[in-house]
Homo-oligomer: A and B are copies of this chain.
């Protein structure tokens, strides 16, 4: 059943094989176009200045063009009187030339008339009448004149081969008289998705199937890089259909990218199709890369076929690490990795260990510059994808990346910016309400439960955390954690609000659930929350009381069915995947569920002291204390209550 990969090769070896097979990864064609159209292309030639800059001796101020020596004796008290013999207008070579005792009125950018050797600024003159002006200050020869070619001269180099053309280069090339420029043609790229399980978004999703993410996502990544990419849709796991579609695409494209159907369990279909289409020229069949092992590469007549993994995050990371640099080199870009950012790893993370590893990370503005926060989870996770800002490569000879180690992060999109406000912690619709009224973009919200939020604040990755952790001994919420984590002094705890939690059940409570003891019943399936969340802490404490140290997994059906948010609990109960779960009351109604109260929690905000001055944080605190928010919270979220101390430092 499992695919037998011929021999896993490293990322470097894969690129070397492409180079060898193509005779170098370089642009294949040069085209000439108008400079204005060349934006985003790479220069294919050295371009020389065609018109000197400035193209004539021009005045750099408004004033009077004079013979410098006429002005040497001028002072405010003993001005020199000159005859005004004309006016030098912009855009025309002046007809008048000047002799001793004469001058010409001139404006910025106008050509300096013959005979003049300097320009006096208008501020240092006094016009007497139509024909005369007083000069109040001397000028030396050349003053306020920009001489022909003094800036750039015919024959100087204006643009070098292989330089990307940005708006700045457009400006410079036109300034030096360059109308057309030779650039490297960009390769035409065609994208396919493959797999019987895929459904295009918008169509009804039959059970067992998933939406095709890779096709549109890879096409979007290509468009962001300036490629005209064509997405040709989803191909079924059918050899003939694939062979035909990919064969057609190869005729009209320089690069064809597929994703999916490369993994074990698919009978290795992509490999076989690539093999036939390229007459045996599959140069990579499996990468020593994690994720990314099921990657295939084939070449034919200077064209490249890439077969990427099926999971979106894996496909996007392999695209970034392998496909993107090759494509950029095909457009003439030499420095393919310049847009990566440097960051420090926020946590020690085990990685490498014999496999070149692609580690998805969140990038946040930490206390000392950018911090990369590793995202650990299954490759198929959409929430991981939503959180990922970029990728860190860990070589196979590493055992771990240390906390504080400098790493290079390739951003998933060059449009991605490190977040301005970072929230890590417990999920709460109350916080979502706060956020939606905050009117700020570029916020990173990571729901990982209360406990992880505390430690994210401690490490400086989060500006703010949301927490509802109960101290069983005192019945008090959250405050005790300041000492547990050693954050007292470093962070402040701001009281949020109260919210009721309890069991979510089908309308009418058909299974008659009244408390935690019911979770032990064999006819009930429970949906749990992830470890570290406030609800999980509460659940485990209650089960501990009931089970007296026995394994909950052996007694509670569904104890291992863990979800991350309150709404995920509600959805599981509403859709019958579980009979009950514990969540806040506010999610019961939208899912048409009944609610059996268990406790009223306090949900508070933990904020690093050094972030209190951030505009977004002070806006958030002001909003939290506002009557407007209190009103919205209590009317739109059932079971929520503003407290007398809401917004106060605890």
| Any B CB within 8 A of the CB of A635 | no
| Any B CB within 8 A of the CB of A396 | no
| Any B CB within 8 A of the CB of A533 | no
| Any B CB within 8 A of the CB of A333 | yes
- Specify which chain B residues have a CB less than 8 angstroms from the CB of A335 in the assembled complex: 417, 420, 440-442
- Specify which chain B residues have a CB less than 8 angstroms from the CB of A568 in the assembled complex: 52, 149-150, 152-153, 155-156
* B155 & A1 in contact (Cβ 8 Å cutoff): no
| Any B CB within 8 A of the CB of A40 | yes
- Residues 397-424 of A, flagged 1 when their CB comes within 8 A of B and 0 if not, give 0000000000000001111111010000
> In the complex, A172→B387 CA distance in Å?
10
Chain multiplicity (copies) = 2
Interface members, chain A 153-186 (any B CB < 8 Å) = 153-158, 160-164, 166-168, 170-172, 174-180
Interface members, chain A 224-241 (any B CB < 8 Å) = 224, 231, 237
| Any B CB within 8 A of the CB of A621 | no
Contact status of A53 and B383, CB under 8 A, knowing A2-B122, A90-B195: yes
* A263 & B167 in contact (Cβ 8 Å cutoff): no
* A388 & B91 in contact (Cβ 8 Å cutoff): no
| Any B CB within 8 A of the CB of A5 | no
* A146 & B378 in contact (Cβ 8 Å cutoff): yes
* A111 & B207 in contact (Cβ 8 Å cutoff): yes
* B55 & A220 in contact (Cβ 8 Å cutoff): no
> In the complex, A412→B171 CA distance in Å?
11
Tell me the nearest residue of chain B to A164, going by C-beta: B415
| Any B CB within 8 A of the CB of A481 | no
Interface members, chain A 202-217 (any B CB < 8 Å) = 202, 205, 207-214, 216-217
- Residues 547-574 of A, flagged 1 when their CB comes within 8 A of B and 0 if not, give 0000001000000111111011011100
* B39 & A220 in contact (Cβ 8 Å cutoff): yes
- Residues 31-58 of A, flagged 1 when their CB comes within 8 A of B and 0 if not, give 0000110011010001000011111101
- Specify which chain B residues have a CB less than 8 angstroms from the CB of A265 in the assembled complex: 62, 90, 107-108, 110
Most chain B CB within 10 A, of A151, A263, A378, A445, is at A151
Interface members, chain A 329-374 (any B CB < 8 Å) = 332-335, 338-339
